[in-house]
Chain A
């Protein structure tokens, strides 16, 4: 189902064919697991944070079992690809073990950094968009893809500040990253919405500049609005609220342009009962299926 997806720009990698189903999944939470297992068809895939399953023990065993039930998307949050120190080899080794043992349908990471000077910041920190950053990021993405022996998806960030040293528009930066490394895109529609609102960007212009055919997964999530010190409105990506109408509208725009894509409902804080999340899953399924009919 769906159109054949191809890499843009003559990538040395095979054309991108998302292995995740063109359906809708949820981030796996332990408190929802029993209910999900009772009705596995309620979701089409599940996603987990890689770092939550790297300490071995019962967690890893549980994930092996889960991978027999649903396709799994492994989402890394700590490779610090946008950083300027050598990649953490121990972390890479743990990641490879996880990927080799779980054999996920997708593996994704972020255009961000999180580690410097021996400290890990537990956050996705912003990267300046300029040529030195791009060159460094491409080298590191290629290093990881070679090490893991598989293509990865890179997620667009939600950012709250930009840099004086920015020289490339975010979408062009991502398009060039895809072109140079053959990686795919994890398009976080909420992050796009948050960043465009925070920086006054045009989301449709942003979308017109990336290779939509390289989008292997979409994230949908909630954010929160607050006031900055100047009284301006700043949106913060919290994964702790319901998806707002503006994000749903932007998601519909993406589906209209790109066709259906595997879509994750991402909720990591203030986690509601599964039934509440499934309402968002079902709405995303409705939109995805509508897009599938258009693109059939």
Chain B
């Protein structure tokens, strides 16, 4: 359970990191918090020739909250974002989802953006990114680009980070006024990856009727599975939500698999139950004036 040997680079600046990554090409792998990467290295499921450690970079450690979005740099840990008052006031869904991420000790080192780059199908933050329609900022020696959640989250443990690229920040758009949100999941043991989970947003009109609703599921497909629920819920009163149509729609959209922890049938059932609960919670929060 020891990693195989790797060359180590800890650049002091973003520019130096991009130069190093450009030189290394496919041999280089970025190390941020390491809470997903180091287990893979220890188990030798991954054996990169070189690691580029972000630990010494001066910068890349800001959380920026504007009227439109919350922007989180690559070195910001789960715990720092979870306890960032301005960010979680702007998007309460961030805090609720981060409460589900592993354990406090893991959150102390794991980074929010790192979990998105890692793209575990049961990871909470990729689903939040997809649900809110956010994007990832990537830099390389030749230039910069952004990638939407849909384009970036390609498959299980696969994000569209190209050789020589560094994901520098993740941007979560703030939901529109009148929106409530919720995140719920179930795991065999507290802090484990969820058997299934779901994040939802519900936006109400001035009469407190549903104008828009969306869900993103984790653990029931190769990537976060997004299910637009506006057609199934539009016009319903927030205090008398009847989520059955939405649940049926979600259960027919998701694509869970059997594994040692749960059958696909159970996961499909569970996802629907969680969706029903999350929708009620989100609608109540929206009615109470929440901004998700």
A and B: bona fide binding partners: no
Chain A interface residues (CB < 8 Å from chain B): none
Which residues of B does A touch, CB under 8 Å?
none
